Amino acid sequence: MEKLKNIFNIQDALVISARSYFLLLNREIIINSASLNKGKGYRLRFNKSNFLHLTGLKSSLSTNDFFNKCYSGNIEKDDYYLGPHNDRKTIKRKLKVLMNIGCLFEQKIYVQENFVKNNIICNIAASDGKCTIGFINTQYYSLPKTLLANNHLSSSKPIYEVSPMFKKITHLKHIG
């Protein structure tokens, strides 16, 4: 994995971030603990379409095209811009975390259900102490909604230490 150097170039950081994020694609991360309220645990997934949102940037490219351009190293300054609620410092904080996202779940992590931070509400959040990532439920699994630098789990709610498990996602082949 590419290490964080003194990167202050957003384009370089986007390329490293996309390559780290790629390690989570086509994998399902299983979060189980007898202490969690949800009996079956949580199934977390990362899609190409979530990457742009997690960067905090905006783009006229489709979410998949943005990810693909970052991953291939072909992203250009004209392909993205700062959103109305983010400044360059916020983007840098997000990208520093995102550059190492691929190894976040390879260790024990801390999770909290019903995560709330300001106006962000997530079904579950995970933290390694260096970052917090919040997820929202869909019908079958949870997708990333927010990415924050540092630990933002609330000490006023239960926090559980878990060892994530990985499962490769296999897509059904259509017979026809």
pLDDT one-digit tens code per residue, 6-34: 446 999 999 999 999 999 999 999 998 88
Give the position of tokens 């309220």.
37
Task: Label residue 123 exposed, middle or buried (CB < 10 Å: 0-12, 13-18, 19+).
Answer: middle
Query: With 60 as the cut, is the pLDDT of residue 2 above it?
Result: no
pLDDT, tens digit, 9 for 90 and up, residues 58-93: 999 999 999 999 999 999 999 999 877 767 888 999
Token readout for 136 is 């929202």
Domain boundaries, the chain: 10-168
